[in-house]
Amino acid sequence: MSTGAAAGPADAGAPRQALLAYLLRLGDTSLVLGQRLGEWVGHAPELEEDLALANLALDFIGQARLLLSYAGEVEGRGRDEDALAFLRDAPEFMNLALAEQPNGDFAHTIVRQWLIDAWQLELYQGLTASADGRLAAIAAKALKESRYHYRFSSGWLVRLGDGTAESRSRAQQALESLWRFTGELFAPDEVDAQIAAAGVAPPLASQADAWSARVQRTLAETTLSRPAAAAYPWHGKRGVHTEHLGHLLGEMQHLQRSYPGLQW
Amino acid sequence: MSDPHKAAVSADWPLFEVFIRSRSGLEHKHVGSLHAADARMAIEHARDVYTRRQEGVSIWAVRSADIVASDPEEADALFEPARDKVYRHPTFYAIPDEVKNL
């Protein structure tokens, strides 16, 4: 997606193309993460965790619906949330690369979740004061969900990271493998700059310190060690993805692609 | 997760009894039980298993092992003596229509 030249200013005050890109980034991140969590249904290590992960998945799908519906309206080409979710290809998805990483083992899923939950907490907190009233309302609703998500994932991180030798080693492996994707969370580009300038979202850099401190507080409750800062920022939010997203979309979009317009 | 591991986890996790208060002013009612590794997880599991459809505003979780229960063998001795004492029921009073939840 081109994010260079700003089209005319939107009602909210941010350039329309930047607002659209920003909404897709948030909405796609929630959608892809929700789909990933949904893959656990029927496979979680405990019945209760099965339900817990499914509940998380539904929260994220709910957020994605609100954000993508809004994105469709901002885009103004008649695409609704379903068209955006089911009829775009991988390069058109703007989710963070971290969200599309495979579930791996339970520790892997928890670490991915915890890193994103910490990011979303700061994000939604900041967005409740957005100059864009619609986005502020979505954030206010999602913030309550995020608080619970963080409680869940940080609780599990401490349990695994301070548990048996096996759980600790798996959690540490997951940290090492996923940490390189955290560079993208706070690496601003021109969309972020325009969005921040319009007061739609706080500058990304202002959330990075709070995220880092929050993550550090939880890590301090464990025996896990924090990996070195990720030098290479991934570019999921610019549509450049790891190979995992295509497979995820293939499964998620299969029905609508095979039977266009099919309804329950 | 492999099956042997799964079995080991279930055996390790104690059983909790869950009580939900459906709305303010009402009492907590027993709704079921679940497995959890610790108290915090018990509340989270109870939230996810028993309040998905807005069933509650408050949760209590108690380790099943901490509940002291009456012995079914003693049921006759404990409860039969109350059977012929109908005068203990306050059914001889007229209750005003305005009184709810009685």
For A154-197, what is each residue's pLDDT tens digit?
999 999 999 999 999 999 999 999 999 999 999 999 999 999 99
Instruction: Please state, in angstroms and rounded to a whole number, the distance separating the CA atoms of residues B70 and A157.
Output: 40
Inter-chain CB proximity A155 and B41 less than 8 Å: yes
Instruction: Please enumerate in sequence order all residues whose Cβ is within 8 A of that of A44, keeping only pairs 6 or more positions apart, or say none.
Output: A50, A52, A53, A106
A41: DSSP letter: T
For an interface test with A, the pick among B48, B50, B55, B59 (most A C-beta atoms closer than 10 Å) comes out as B48
Q: Which of B5, B13, B41, B55 to mutate to test the interface with A (most CBs of A within 10 A)?
A: B41
- Mean pLDDT (whole number) for A205-226: 95
Q: Using the beta-carbon criterion (under 8 Å), do B38 and A159 form an inter-chain contact?
A: yes
**A132 and A41 Cβ atoms separated by less than 8 Å:** no
B 53-92 residues inside an 8 A Cβ radius of A: none
Tokens for A129?
A: 């004061």
Q: How far is A52 from chain B (nearest CA, A)?
A: 6
Query: Out of A64-78, A155-169, A204-218, B81-95, which region has the weakest mean confidence (pLDDT)?
Result: B81-95
Q: Point out the residue among A51, A105, A155 whose CB comes nearest to the CB of B48.
A: A51
Residues of chain A whose C-beta is under 8 A from some C-beta in B? Answer: 45-46, 48, 51-52, 55, 105-106, 148, 151-152, 155, 159
* CB-based contact B41 A151, cutoff 8 Å: no
pLDDT band at A3 (very low <50, low <70, confident <90, very high): very low
User: Of B6, B34, B37, which has the smallest distance from its Cβ to A159's Cβ?
Assistant: B37
Rounded to two decimals, the ipTM of the complex is: 0.74
Of A48, A105, A148, the CB nearest to B45: A48
pLDDT at B85: 85
Query: Element (H or E) spanning B62, and its range?
Result: strand B58-63
A59 with A149: CB under 8 angstroms?
yes
Q: Which residues of B touch A62 (CB under 8 A)?
A: none
Closest Cβ opposite residue A51 in set B5, B40, B49: B49
Task: Please give the model's pTM, rounded to 2 decimal places.
Answer: 0.85
Question: Is the CB of A48 less than 8 angstroms away from the CB of B34?
Answer: yes
- Residue A64: the pLDDT is 98
Of the pLDDT bands very low, low, confident and very high (cuts 50, 70, 90), residue A49 is very high
Q: pLDDT tens for residues A54-70?
A: 999 999 999 999 999 99
pLDDT of A141 above 60:
yes
B34 and chain A in contact, CB less than 8 A: yes
